[in-house]
Amino acid sequence: MITPEEALARISSNVGPLPARTAPLSDAEGCVLSASLAARLDLPSFDNSAMDGYAVRASDLAGASREAPVSLRLCGEAPAGSPASVAVAAGEALRILTGAPVPEGADAVVMQEKTERVGDAVLFYATPSAGANIRPRGEDVKAQAPLLAAGSTLRPYEIGLLASQGIAEVEVIPRPTAAVLATGSEIAPPGTPLAAGKIYNSNGPALGAALRRWGVAVRDLGSAPDDPVAMASALRPAVGTCDLLLVAGGVSVGDYDYTRSVFQEFGFEEVFYKVAVKPGKPLLFGRIQAPEGGCATWVFGLPGNPLSALVSLEEFVRPAIERMRGVTLVQPSYHLRGRALNAYPLPKDRQQFLFCRARPDGDGFALEVIRPQGSAMSKMATGANALAVARLGMGVVREGDLLPFRWLK
Amino acid sequence: MITPEEALARISSNVGPLPARTAPLSDAEGCVLSASLAARLDLPSFDNSAMDGYAVRASDLAGASREAPVSLRLCGEAPAGSPASVAVAAGEALRILTGAPVPEGADAVVMQEKTERVGDAVLFYATPSAGANIRPRGEDVKAQAPLLAAGSTLRPYEIGLLASQGIAEVEVIPRPTAAVLATGSEIAPPGTPLAAGKIYNSNGPALGAALRRWGVAVRDLGSAPDDPVAMASALRPAVGTCDLLLVAGGVSVGDYDYTRSVFQEFGFEEVFYKVAVKPGKPLLFGRIQAPEGGCATWVFGLPGNPLSALVSLEEFVRPAIERMRGVTLVQPSYHLRGRALNAYPLPKDRQQFLFCRARPDGDGFALEVIRPQGSAMSKMATGANALAVARLGMGVVREGDLLPFRWLK
């Protein structure tokens, strides 16, 4: 049994980013850029007006104010979308719209609200400084300069920046594909009557929902009974054709050797088995090497109890997915802290994840630890909005203890 | 010009949830349940073992310990997935696996690790209490009892709970559909050489990326020049066929009446225009009534500068989308606070959103306010990981001021 920190370290050191691929910008949101990009264009690519107003020579308006307006001759109009055609001479003002190129001769824009049109003249009620309301060429981006570094996650802000450079395709690390199999002779598919001793397959749907939310394409392999032949035949189509294979159930003490032997038929190399967490101890992780013409597949054997499976997915599989996606986590997880409103007993040898109801409380948060909680209590978990951590060796949660937590969104 | 609070209040009081629809469970993640559901089954539906071990009568093992083990006769095995067939009599133990039904006669399960198998007998090294390691029928859910309330968001935990009840379809509020149009005679599509005075369409891709991330299906209407006929013809296919219409650009002082008149051709009813925020003041919001056989469409006219458009989307359009999806926000936004590491000037009459680099600092966060920032500086924004708020009337941000912020993920 290893600590959760050790498990995360082994995941991190073993799993690397998937090979890069070209994607249209419209499909790249949330992906990581695989190579640094330099700017193709200055941004803005020409001096332009930040306001609707008038382009002028600032020196013409020295001393202009509400009390002592200065009048200039209107010499034309500069709409957005066309090159500036008219130059502004001394004593002249050009009507200009937001985003339009600043005409030759002008060195400032006065916003419309500080002017008044009187026939062919414009009265100015304010003195602009040189450069006022002009966005100079290259202010935000200079052509050839670094635009975005390899490893950047493409948020809507990055997508916008790339589009503004006329970039329609990017080299990114793709989203992983995953296959999910629920195992156990007790598992029945939905839509069938439930025979004695059977339960419905809830791990497949729940794990699939979480994976899809993280941008992973999911293949649902359904369920297989506790039978090596059936299990191997359910897994076979996924080996070499998906990046990640999740098998829920069949990894507790009694089943482990048997599940492992099924995996080994496909060339499984184990990285770890058993992590000191509750829920979730019997967690199996390793790799199936790429078959000829296929891809390598990372394999997680998840515990079969529904909450053990989901918490293991969020705590251990998700970091593996983030490694595959090339994501650099800027933010430590569990950086929020809350005060326990009630006591809760803890296991001696495992870190416990606690389902809680969290709410803001003064400058921080209060955590009601839900009692009782168990790894098969699916309904209990739907009443929680937060998952707190009681670290190994804490012994017991006492009322008032400060616990790290994350939101269950 | 109204305050941002007033704008949000008007969005909230005008926009309601979309009509409910039946969805397969596999497509319902993130959706809101439109009607309360009662449980169909007890969960668990039978008393079952929480461990791999032996089902026994607890009274048979009174006083058993490592020093004084008690021996019971092995009477069979109960695998998971089958009804319990063998009863446990006094002096007997039944081998039982996790999830298997507890046999008649037994009232406790002893975990395997506290036993030893010796031929046809099992030695027990511990005294269980009655009920130990048994999950009683109905412990988590009782049939007919409330399962999930209308308004619940279906996270993976809720999906798992529904699946465990054999529920394969649910009545939910669907994800909205949106159409996005960028306007401005200066806008050129990507993949074409950039003529003088032109810029590439960056709002379409950036807004689309953000909407898709929120689960909205997006139709990209491309761009239209500042021309009422062209604009109306670009918008026409979206009216009555999508829930949300976003038009970026064409809403600043000079263009407002003209954009409004294009909207009015489709029966636009204005709810508000102009919000006291920076970036983003010229924000237009209203509704186009459902044409015969179509649906009503909420319309936002967003400012054309890229950061004004994206911040307006996140601050005002997203709440409208959440209303359409029936989401009850549990968490106040901007509940995080950080200390400003530097000063920044503020506008007198508007709340300012500030692009920042945030990092953990002691028990809280430090915020480096990026200088300079402007509503067209797309590259500047890609260097930010947080957006802070300087409320109306704050005057100026001083070093050490505490500002509410949210992550830019």
Q: In whole angstroms, how large is the CA radius of gyration of chain A? A: 31
Kindly state whether residues B204 and B269 are assigned to the same domain: yes
Kindly state whether residues B244 and B341 are assigned to the same domain: no
User: Angle CA(B56)–CA(B62)–CA(B65) in degrees, nearest 5?
Assistant: 95
User: Angle CA(B219)–CA(A409)–CA(A9) in degrees, nearest 5?
Assistant: 105
Kindly state whether residues B213 and B316 are assigned to the same domain: yes
What pLDDT, on the 0 to 100 scale, is given for residue A331?
A: 57
Kindly state whether residues B102 and B197 are assigned to the same domain: no
What pLDDT, on the 0 to 100 scale, is given for residue B80?
A: 80
Kindly state whether residues A230 and A318 are assigned to the same domain: yes
pLDDT digits 0-9 by tens, B57-106: 999 999 999 999 999 999 998 878 888 778 999 999 999 988 899 999 99
Is residue A266, in this structure, part of any structural domain at all? yes
Kindly state whether residues B54 and B149 are assigned to the same domain: no
Whether residue A190 has a cis bond before it, omega within 30° of 0: no
Kindly state whether residues B250 and B116 are assigned to the same domain: no
Instruction: Please compute the mean of the pLDDT values over residues B278-284 and round it to a whole number.
Output: 93
pLDDT over 60 at A330, yes or no: no
Chain A positions in Cβ-Cβ contact with residue B408 (cut-off 8 Å): 155, 157
Is residue B187, in this structure, part of any structural domain at all? yes
The number of beta carbons lying within 10 Å of the beta carbon of residue A62 is 9
Chain B positions in Cβ-Cβ contact with residue A84 (cut-off 8 Å): 197
Predicted confidence band of residue A123 (pLDDT cuts 50, 70, 90): very high
Q: Percentage of chain B surpassing pLDDT 90?
A: 84
Is residue A268, in this structure, part of any structural domain at all? yes
Domain of A34, in residue numbers? 21-43+139-173
Q: What is the mean pLDDT of chain A?
A: 94
Instruction: Please compute the mean of the pLDDT values over residues B293-299 and round it to a whole number.
Output: 92
pLDDT digits 0-9 by tens, A24-45: 999 999 999 999 999 999 999 9
Question: Of A86, A113, A135, which marks where a domain is finished?
Answer: A135
Is residue B329, in this structure, part of any structural domain at all? no
**φ/ψ bin of B51: left (φ > 0), alpha (ψ from -120 to 50), beta (otherwise):** beta
B241 token code pair: 């066929």
Instruction: Please compute the mean of the pLDDT values over residues B379-398 and round it to a whole number.
Output: 96
Instruction: Please compute the mean of the pLDDT values over residues A369-375 and round it to a whole number.
Output: 95
Is residue B331, in this structure, part of any structural domain at all? no
Q: Return the CATH number at B364.
A: 2.40.340.10
What pLDDT, on the 0 to 100 scale, is given for residue B107?
A: 97
Chain B positions in Cβ-Cβ contact with residue A407 (cut-off 8 Å): 331
pLDDT over 80 at A3, yes or no: yes
pLDDT digits 0-9 by tens, A265-317: 999 999 999 999 999 989 999 999 988 888 899 999 999 999 999 999 999 99
Is residue A329, in this structure, part of any structural domain at all? no
Kindly state whether residues A364 and A374 are assigned to the same domain: yes
Chain B positions in Cβ-Cβ contact with residue A202 (cut-off 8 Å): 160-161, 163-164
Kindly state whether residues B123 and B8 are assigned to the same domain: no
CA distances from A201 to A163, A208, A286, B40, B262 (A): 44, 12, 24, 15, 53
What pLDDT, on the 0 to 100 scale, is given for residue A273?
A: 95
* Cross-chain residue pair A197–B84, CB shorter than 8 Å: yes
* Cross-chain residue pair B156–A253, CB shorter than 8 Å: no
Question: Of A85, A116, A135, which marks where a domain is finished?
Answer: A135
Kindly state whether residues A286 and A236 are assigned to the same domain: yes
CA distances from A265 to A236, B108, B135 (A): 10, 38, 35
What pLDDT, on the 0 to 100 scale, is given for residue A243?
A: 97
* Kind plus residue range of the DSSP H or E element containing B205: helix B203-213
Is residue B366, in this structure, part of any structural domain at all? yes
Nearest to A315 by CA among A3, A8, A2, A60: A8
Rounded distance between C-alpha atoms, residue B134 and residue A357, angstroms: 26
Kindly state whether residues A403 and A314 are assigned to the same domain: no
What pLDDT, on the 0 to 100 scale, is given for residue B137?
A: 96
Instruction: Please compute the mean of the pLDDT values over residues B353-361 and round it to a whole number.
Output: 96
Predicted confidence band of residue B277 (pLDDT cuts 50, 70, 90): very high
List, as one string, the DSSP characters of B280-322: T---EEEEEPPPTTS--EEEEEE-SSHHHHHHHIIIIIHHHHH
Question: Of B173, B196, B223, which marks where a domain is finished?
Answer: B173
Chain B positions in Cβ-Cβ contact with residue A382 (cut-off 8 Å): 148, 152, 155, 157-158, 161
Q: How far is B166 from chain A (nearest CA, A)?
A: 5
> How much is the pTM?
0.89
Whether residue B279 has a cis bond before it, omega within 30° of 0: yes
Q: Return the CATH number at A145.
A: 3.90.105.10
Q: Return the CATH number at A236.
A: 3.40.980.10
Count the residues in chain B: 409
pLDDT over 70 at B329, yes or no: no
* Least confident piece of the model among A117-131, A339-353, A392-406, B70-84: B70-84
Instruction: Identify which of A30, A199, A409 has the shortest CB distance to residue B164.
Output: A199
Rounded distance between C-alpha atoms, residue B265 and residue A61, angstroms: 42
Predicted confidence band of residue A332 (pLDDT cuts 50, 70, 90): low
User: Angle CA(B244)–CA(B7)–CA(B187) in degrees, nearest 5?
Assistant: 50
Amino acid at B374: G
A94 token code pair: 């050009």
What pLDDT, on the 0 to 100 scale, is given for residue B191?
A: 81
Instruction: Identify which of A140, A206, A220 has the shortest CB distance to residue B377.
Output: A140
Instruction: Please compute the mean of the pLDDT values over residues A57-64 and round it to a whole number.
Output: 96
- For chain A, the farthest-separated pair of C-alpha atoms sits apart, in whole angstroms, at 94
Instruction: Identify which of B202, B212, B408 has the shortest CB distance to residue A160.
Output: B202
Q: Return the CATH number at B107.
A: 2.170.190.11
The number of beta carbons lying within 10 Å of the beta carbon of residue A18 is 21
What pLDDT, on the 0 to 100 scale, is given for residue A25?
A: 96
Kindly state whether residues B60 and B195 are assigned to the same domain: no
User: How many whole angstroms from its chain centre is CA B145?
Assistant: 27
List, as one string, the DSSP characters of B314-354: IIIIHHHHHHHTT----SPTT-EEEEESS-EE--SSSEEEE
* Pairing assessment for the beta strands B70-78 and B121-124 based on DSSP bridges: antiparallel
A139 token code pair: 């202010």
pLDDT digits 0-9 by tens, B111-141: 999 999 999 999 999 999 999 999 999 999 9
Instruction: Please compute the mean of the pLDDT values over residues A121-146 and round it to a whole number.
Output: 96
B69 token code pair: 């083990």
Q: Give chain A's domain count.
A: 4
Q: Percentage of chain A surpassing pLDDT 90?
A: 84
pLDDT over 80 at B321, yes or no: yes
Instruction: Please compute the mean of the pLDDT values over residues B190-219 and round it to a whole number.
Output: 93
Backbone angles phi, psi at B58, to 5 degrees: -55, -35
Instruction: Please compute the mean of the pLDDT values over residues A112-118 and round it to a whole number.
Output: 94
pLDDT over 60 at B375, yes or no: yes
Rounded distance between C-alpha atoms, residue A11 and residue A3, angstroms: 12
Yes or no: say if B238 and B298 are a contact pair by the CB < 8 Å rule: no
Give the DSSP letter of residue A93: E
